Amino acid sequence: MPPSSSSSSSEYLQNLIDSARPFLRGELESIDKNLPSLVSVLRSVGAGECWHKHGSFLDHLTDIYRILKLWKSPNPVSLCGLFHSAYSNSYVNLAIFDPSTGREVVRGHVGDEAERLIHLFCVVPRQPLIHDDLLFHYSDLELVEHLHQSEISLRNAKEKGRFDGEEGWRKKLQVLVTADGIRVKHIHSGEDVHVSRRVVAVFLMMTMADFCDQLFSFQDMLFENVNGRLEFTGNNFGAIWPGDGKPGLWLNSISRMGAVYSLIVREEEIFLEEEKKKRAGKTVLDHERNEDIELVLPPVFDNCTKVLDAGDQLVARDLYWEAVCGDVSKKGLGRIEELLVESIEKNPYVGEPYVVLSQVYLTQGRFEEAERKAEKGLTLLLEWGCPWDKRTSWEGWIAWTRVLLMKAKEKSWPQKSWGILNLGLVK
């Protein structure tokens, strides 16, 4: 979440740009010296030839890696994202490595810790784990209340050494996923598989990244997601790909995942504080609980502290779509501005409406307003690491928004069509 002051916000935005620049420039070796060879391995086994929702499987794998890296995930977690369906998984049949013979190969590329996560990710029943066992046990209101309560509990634990295991939010979470983790059924053998609570959290965050990269209106049609809650209850197998390309109704679900993730992170912090107190201030990591895995907070939805209402998400998406589609000369810029402002009021958590609004303001010569909206849009796009409106790539949205921001600061905007086409340079 960006700081509130103007100077701090600018510094925060610059840090986001600096983190994203190697991805924007394709400088893979500066991100990880092994990354070019890892991508080559994925390319050599045909990942670039496989279909995946709105592109190729290779594109999806590298996108997930980028998102997790921009979210400051530990390297093994980011590498798990890069190879996350390499053995196939409960969602897709994309076994580009044979799990019975290829584990040594993958381990040789990414290391033991990352490969263990990759294999586990590919054998757990992720849909029941994430949705049936966690998300569907909470209402939106309950998540909001538990986020508030857990913030107080964590502060009491850290500042006052006060621990209360009988608090409602803690008792509920501990029933769903205990301190020792949970057992799920292997998707192929049916055998029990142990998943630590911290790894449950990691898989929850990875699912956030996985879904936000790939979902758009096609999946809404496929599963008849008319209420925007992404409950996978429909069966419209005749949905035609790719459909209209409209932004998908997945944000409510991702915000709920982020809220549950935050609750687990806070419960883990309280648990570790309590254990440290028992050991007279000494910190001893329990590797069986995977306490060596750092749990980072994705910056989306104000660091996973907000839940977006499903109805607001739907209204905001439709307002945005009305604004960006059709003939501007018939609507007029004033009406487009109204639509975008209303969209942002309903859903302030994605960048594209701010970006389009910035262009409207530039066209009208309202440069200061255009600058503010471009900065906000760019910040959100960089925090997500992927586009909400997938008609254009993340890199394309970033480049265009930086052009808008640059022109707003220059207080200049073309007054002829050829001038718009001449835009592009980013300084």
Span 263-285, pLDDT tens digits: 999 999 999 999 988 887 788 88
Give mean pLDDT, residues 298-319.
98
The terminus-to-terminus CA distance of the chain in angstroms comes to 25
pLDDT mean across residues, the chain: 94
Give mean pLDDT, residues 110-118.
95
Confidence bin at 85 (pLDDT 50/70/90): confident
Confidence bin at 8 (pLDDT 50/70/90): confident
Q: Give residue 84's pLDDT.
A: 87
Give mean pLDDT, residues 215-226.
96
* CA geometry: angle 31, 19, 25, nearest 5 deg: 65
Helical (H) or strand (E) element with 195: strand 192-195
Q: What is the pLDDT of residues 151-208, one digit of tens each?
A: 999 999 999 999 999 999 999 999 999 999 999 999 989 999 999 999 999 999 999 9
State the amino acid at position 112 in one-letter form: D
Cα Rg, the chain, nearest whole Å: 22
Q: How far apart are CA 89 and CA 95, in angstroms?
A: 8
Q: Give residue 314's pLDDT.
A: 98
Q: Give residue 258's pLDDT.
A: 98
Residue 193, SS3? strand
CB neighbourhood size of 386 (10 A): 18
Q: Give residue 156's pLDDT.
A: 97
Query: Please, which residues have CB within 8 angstroms of residue 266's CB and are 6 or more apart in sequence?
Result: 150, 151, 153, 154
**Half-sphere exposure of residue 139: CA atoms within 13 angstroms, side-chain side:** 3
Contact 399/353 with Cβ under 8 angstroms? no
Cα–Cα separations (whole angstroms), residue 400 to 164, 300, 394, 410, 421: 50, 21, 10, 15, 12
Q: Give residue 99's pLDDT.
A: 66
Nearest to 208 by CA among 301, 90, 318, 110: 301
Contact 129/136 with Cβ under 8 angstroms? no
Lowest mean pLDDT among 25-34, 81-90, 390-399, 406-415: 81-90
Query: Please, which residues have CB within 8 angstroms of residue 40's CB and are 6 or more apart in sequence?
Result: none
Q: Give residue 27's pLDDT.
A: 97
Give mean pLDDT, residues 212-222.
97
Tokens for 20, please give them.
């994203």
Query: Please, which residues have CB within 8 angstroms of residue 145's CB and are 6 or more apart in sequence?
Result: 169
Q: How far apart are CA 295 and CA 137, in angstroms?
A: 22
* CA geometry: angle 24, 30, 31, nearest 5 deg: 75
State the amino acid at position 386 in one-letter form: C
pLDDT at 90 over 60: no
Q: Give residue 103's pLDDT.
A: 83
Confidence bin at 54 (pLDDT 50/70/90): confident
Phi first, then psi, for residue 60 (nearest 5°) are: -65, -45
CA 343 to chain centre: 20
Q: What percentage of residues in the chain have a pLDDT greater than 90?
A: 83
Confidence bin at 97 (pLDDT 50/70/90): confident
For 28-35, which contacts have Cβ atoms below 8 Å and span 24 or more sequence positions?
Answer: 31/69, 32/75, 34/109
Q: Give residue 45's pLDDT.
A: 84
Q: Give residue 270's pLDDT.
A: 97
Query: Please, which residues have CB within 8 angstroms of residue 189's CB and are 6 or more apart in sequence?
Result: none
Give mean pLDDT, residues 25-40.
96
